Every structure is written in structure tokens, then in C-alpha cells.
Amino acid sequence: MSNNPIVKGKLVCVALNDSEQFNAMQAEFAEAPYKGAPTQPVLYFKPHNTWSTDGAVVEWADGADSMVVGASLAVVFGKECCRVSQAEALDYVEGYTLVHDFSLVEQNYYRPDIKGKCLDTSAPIGAAVVAVEDPQALTVVTSVNGTVVNETPVSQLVRGVAELISTISYIMTLQPGDVIAVGFPGQRAPVAKGDKVCSVIAGVTELNNTLGE
């Protein structure tokens, strides 16, 4: 089923987890249709048709005028993880890697964004899965055609890695080969056909993709 050697079951992504974006949107959260800030992590799936790899050419969405990309630190599970505490959460992690979430521009967060987020090949995962002592100390840096467009310290996320693993593990049992992308920059970077996107976590891994024509 999987087009990627790392993710085997599900790829869960966390939206609205960049504290800069989260704080900037407070007034909007109070209005319709949201009528209140989220009290829980805002989650979405990237389904299996979206999974691709380091080096993959990401398809340009049919008929789209514009696309954006965000990169996230991703947690790869090494063992079954069901209802775990924050204190023990990291024990279930095999290692860490990167996810690129290519999508249409995020218009709003009210309804599941199937049209925007479920595009074929739009979720490259990789390149390597690496054990890390403290994932909160990592920073994800993304460049488009060599120019840095985002620099997101994991410590800037509203909810950290251990908290997310714990919370999500009470909703759904995570299996070996399941992946959580813990948070994307609030300002997704615009991309154009043929662009080269590179994300790096220093000393951990790097993920390179090219937009199709």
C-alpha cells in the first residue's frame, strides 16, 4: 500500500501548531465559523496516495494557480503506542524524520481540506529516520531554490512532541510505521512549477523535492 519505506499505516499531521500563527489568529478564532479557539490539537490525515519520498517530483495540482509547502519534524513510531503519558511518550519513537506537506493554499480550517491536502505525491517523507535525544531542541529550516523561506524551532510549537504523542495516543492507537508530523510553519511558503524545495534538520536529516511542471 505504501509508496514510502518509512510510513506504513497512517500519517497524522498537526495544523495550527505554530505559536506565532496561533497567537495571530486569536481574533479570527473567536468569529464564525470557529466560534472559539481550538482546545485540542487540530489534526488531519495525509492518505496513502500522498506519500512519496526524498528526491520525488511532486505533482503540480491539476489546474491549480498556486501551491504552498510547509515542512515538519516527524515522529516515526517503533512500537505500538496506546494511551501513553507524556513522560513515557518518547520511548515509543523509533526516530525522527521530515515531512513536506505540499497543498493548495490553506483557505480556512473549518472543514476537512480534502481538495487541498490529498493531492497525489504531496507528502514526501524522509530521507532518514534518526534517533534524537531531545526533539524539542531541533529546528526545521526550509529553502525554496536555495533561499531560506522558513525556520521553525520545534520549541516554538504550541504543543510539543511528547504532549502530542500522548494526546493522539488516547484518540487512536499508533502502530509501528505510523508517523506524526508535529507542526508546520504558520506561513506556508508559496512554490511554483519546477521549484526545488529543501528542508534540513541540522545533524539529523534532509528532504529534497522538486515541483512538477
Partner 1 sequence: MKHARVLFNGSELDVTVEDSFAETGLLKSKTDGQLINETDVTWLSPIKEPGTIFALGLNYADHAAELAFEPPKEPLVFLKGANTLTGHKQNAYRPDNIKFQHYECELVAVIGKEGKNIAREDAMDYIAGYTVCNDFAIRDYLENYYRPNLRVKSRDSLCPIGPWLIDKDDVGDISNLKLTTHVNGELTQEGTTADIIFDVPFLVEYLSKIMTLKPGDMIATGTPKGLKDMQPGDTVVCEIEKVGALVTNIVSEQEFYGDKY
Number of residues that bind partner 1 (CB under 8 A): 38
Site map for partner 1, 83-102, x if CB under 8 A?
x-------------------
Q: Which amino acid is at 211?
A: L
Answer whether 174's CB lies under 8 Å from 158's CB: no
Shortest Å, Cβ 190 to partner 1: 21
Q: What number of other Cβ atoms are within 10 A of residue 40's Cβ? A: 9
> Does 65 sit near partner 1 (CB under 8 A)?
no
Query: How many Cα atoms sit within 13 Å of 129 on the Cβ side?
Result: 19
User: CA-CA distance, 192 to 171, in Å (whole number)?
Assistant: 37
- Chosen residue from 44, 51, 92, 184 binding partner 1 by CB under 8 A: 44
Of the candidate spans 18-26, 71-79, 112-120, 133-141, the one that interacts with partner 1 by CB under 8 A turns out to be 112-120
> Does 39 sit near partner 1 (CB under 8 A)?
yes
Nearest to 94 by CA among 114, 80, 82: 80
Strands across the sheet containing 139-144: 57-58, 205-211, 196-201, 139-144, 147-153
Shortest Å, Cβ 56 to partner 1: 15
Q: Which residues pair with 196 in a beta bridge?
A: 210
Rank residues 120 and 206 by Cβ distance to partner 1 and give the closer one: 120
- Contact residues toward partner 1 (CB under 8 A) are 1, 9-10, 12, 15-16, 33-36, 38-40, 42-45, 47-50, 62, 82-83, 109-115, 118-120, 171-173, 175
